[in-house]
Amino acid sequence: MHAFIDKSKRGEYTLCAVTVAPGDLTSIRKQMNALRPPGHSRIHMTGVGKKLAPKIVSEVARLEATSRIYLMTSKKVNERQARDVTLAAAVRDLAQMSVTNVVIESCDQDREDNRIIRDELGGNPPFVYTHDRPTNPLLWIPDVHAWAWGRSGSMRAKIAHRVTVVRL
């Protein structure tokens, strides 16, 4: 399995780890590119508009990609602390799964993320992990899942069968 990780902030800190089977990567990458709004370099749900959002969420919900959404609800921690806690939980879970490759959306915190992964899994984790730019179409899936979950209502309902929530 391959995993793709992105974060979202809507009230509570959300980190989403989506898993995709290696045989589905090429097909899903093509499908995600086909969903990209005209004139956009990527899918970022805060910028797609109310008209396109339901279609994108519905189409992504059909893809063979499942996610674990890690929610940090404490108001007593800052964003970095919340990212540390959620990322640590995610990599612990991914290490228990048959994940061989993890791609994390780069957000100017790559060094800190690497430290968290080393602290959790040691110097020889069971998967290769890298950071990539948000133009990677497979990183758009956790953005869609997290956004839809955070919106609740009909958007959450469209994606709920693909999501497991972990509250921290």
Grade residue 61 by pLDDT with cuts at 50, 70 and 90: very high
User: Which pair of tokens denotes residue 53?
Assistant: 């959002």
Q: Enter the DSSP assignment of 97.
A: T
CATH number of the domain enclosing 147? 3.30.420.10
Q: What is the pTM of this model?
A: 0.94
Please give the residue range of the domain that contains residue 83.
2-167
Write out the H or E segment, with its range, that includes residue 116: helix 110-121
Number of structural domains found in the chain: 1
- d(CA 85, CA 133) in angstroms, rounded, equals 22
Q: How far apart are the first and last CA of the chain?
A: 24
- d(CA 160, CA 145) in angstroms, rounded, equals 9
Residue 74 has pLDDT above 80, yes or no: no
- Given this model, what pLDDT does residue 102 score? 98
